[in-house]
Amino acid sequence: MLREQVSLQALNTFGVAATARWYGEAASPAELAQLLADPRVADLPLLVLGGGSNLLLTRDFDGLVLRYTDDHIRAIARGRDSHLIEVGAGMNWHAFVDWSLAHGYVGLENLALIPGTVGAAPIQNIGAYGVEVERFINAVEVFDRERGCTTIHKHDACGFDYRWSRFKRDGERDRHIVVNVRLRLPRQGELQLDYPGIREELATMGIAAPNARDVFDAVCAIRRRKLPDPAVIGNAGSFFKNPIVAAEIAQALLAKHPGAPTFDAGAGRRKLSAAWLIDQCGLKGYRDGDAGVSAQHALVLVNHGAASGADLWRVAQHVQATVRERFAIELQPEPVVV
Ligand code: EPU
């Protein structure tokens, strides 16, 4: 059912005020097709909302805002070492990670507490603590608006990269709506403990031989401590991607700042820490009215109360300009900016 003039304030984790001209929810591909064909919205711009946790609304949306709500989980094939699990795009990601561990699967524990839905996970290839979701993705089923039916994209056709997939490309972003994600989940597997902080956290917890649930608990503890909670202060997680640069640029940075964190990014490139760059510019805790940079983590922009999307976008541009001036490095936003 379509509703007109709907407030999106409770539907984005920044908590900024914005209104959708039209808003609708669908729980199946058939309902989706019906909504999209409605003559009142058929020719208007479309914005698909997941958990609203990776989105900055800088204005009202003069089109259709859509949520896909199906959150079923079912095993579609059971092998000896792994099972193929299909999950509705509307399922909450963290609840699914919890479900997977409770049902004896291993692998998703490092991705605990990432806000958002299962449907959004492949779109930006969510990652944390040394693991990216693409490792577990077998296929993504989308509703293709051009063809008017669902199609399945196997892993290799998804164009996964760091916080990136084909579903973010211009032209594809509005064409495909994720309806199901198929994940191949191992029954056993090695734990990924190498990301800085994980082993220390487990040691603090007094755990010498961790299992997947222990790693989940450690990741939750680190995230709760390091990242501001959107339920308490509006934010959308990391606001900028970590810049990936040529090795020479990383070397030049290290020559001047031996303490700068850099990571291998393959193909002779290095990933720099956007949080570190922003922090070095003295911007951690920066505030312009109610919009600002988190005092807890320099990569997170926060809404202290009544900031508008435009206020937050102004802070984002200030951060970009300051880092550009100081380091000649361009920061790219991670969330979708409308
Ligand atoms: N740092 C600072 N100042 C800060 C915070 C961090 O200098 O205020 C430095 C730290 O010293 C550390 C480095 O920055 O050496 C990296 O920090 P952190 O481990 O917190 O990770 P990140 O690179 O800032 C990325 C992801 C996060 C993910 C964490 C953990 C991106 C854009 N962000 O952040 O993902 O949780 O690693 O794996 O890749 C998200 O995408 O929304 C997100 C939160």
| CATH, residue 141 | 3.30.465.10
Q: What is the mean pLDDT of residues 188-214?
A: 96
Checking if the pLDDT of 1 tops 90, the result is no
Q: Are residues 118 and 51 part of one domain? A: no
Single residue among 68, 84, 105 that ends a domain in this structure? 68
pLDDT in tens, 280-316: 999 999 999 999 999 999 999 999 999 999 999 999 9
- The SS3 of residue 32 is helix
- Of 67, 163, 166, 182, the active-site residue reads 163
Closest CA to ligand 1's atom 24:
275
So what's the pLDDT on residue 171?
82
Per-residue confidence band for 219, with pLDDT thresholds at 50, 70 and 90:
very high
Let me know if residue 222 belongs to a domain: no
So what's the pLDDT on residue 266?
87
Q: What is the mean pLDDT of residues 189-198?
A: 95
Q: Which residues contact 108 (CB under 8 A, 6 or more apart)?
A: 96, 97, 100, 101, 131, 133, 136, 185
Atom of ligand 1 nearest to the CA of 197: 19
Checking if the pLDDT of 217 tops 90, the result is yes
Q: What distance in angstroms lies between residue 299's CA and the mean position of ligand 1's atoms?
A: 7
Is 238 tagged catalytic? yes
Let me know if residue 196 belongs to a domain: no
Q: What distance in angstroms lies between residue 276's CA and the mean position of ligand 1's atoms?
A: 8
Q: What distance in angstroms lies between residue 226's CA and the mean position of ligand 1's atoms?
A: 9
Checking if the pLDDT of 165 tops 90, the result is yes
Q: Are residues 77 and 64 part of one domain? A: no
Whether the Cβ atoms of residue 298 and residue 278 lie closer than 8 Å to each other: yes
Closest CA to ligand 1's atom 2:
276
So what's the pLDDT on residue 172?
86
Q: Are residues 245 and 318 part of one domain? A: yes
Single residue among 17, 47, 68 that ends a domain in this structure? 68
Cα–Cα nearest to 4, from 15, 20, 16, 18: 20
In whole angstroms, give the CA distance from residue 3 to residue 51. Answer: 19
> Which structural domain range is residue 135 located in?
73-186
Q: What distance in angstroms lies between residue 248's CA and the mean position of ligand 1's atoms?
A: 22
Closest CA to ligand 1's atom 11:
276
Is 334 tagged catalytic? yes
* Domain total of the chain: 3
So what's the pLDDT on residue 24?
97
Q: Tell me what the pLDDT averaged over the chain comes to.
A: 96
Q: Are residues 122 and 49 part of one domain? A: no
Single residue among 171, 186, 201 that ends a domain in this structure? 186
Please give the sequence-ordered ranges of beta strands (E in DSSP) within the chain, or none if there are none.
Answer: 2-7, 19-26, 46-49, 55-56, 61-68, 73-78, 82-88, 127-128, 131-132, 137-144, 149-154, 176-186, 234-238, 244-246, 262-264, 269-272, 287-288, 291-293, 300-303, 336-337
Cα–Cα nearest to 178, from 137, 133, 124, 142: 142
Q: Are residues 178 and 94 part of one domain? A: yes
Atom of ligand 1 nearest to the CA of 163: 39
- Of 53, 100, 238, 308, the active-site residue reads 238
State the Cα angle at 296 between 215 and 211, rounded to 5°: 0
DSSP run (H or E) holding 323: helix 309-327
Let me know if residue 115 belongs to a domain: yes
Is 173 tagged catalytic? no
State the Cα angle at 282 between 280 and 284, rounded to 5°: 100
pTM over 0.85: yes
Percent of the chain topping pLDDT 90: 96
| CATH, residue 301 | 3.90.78.10
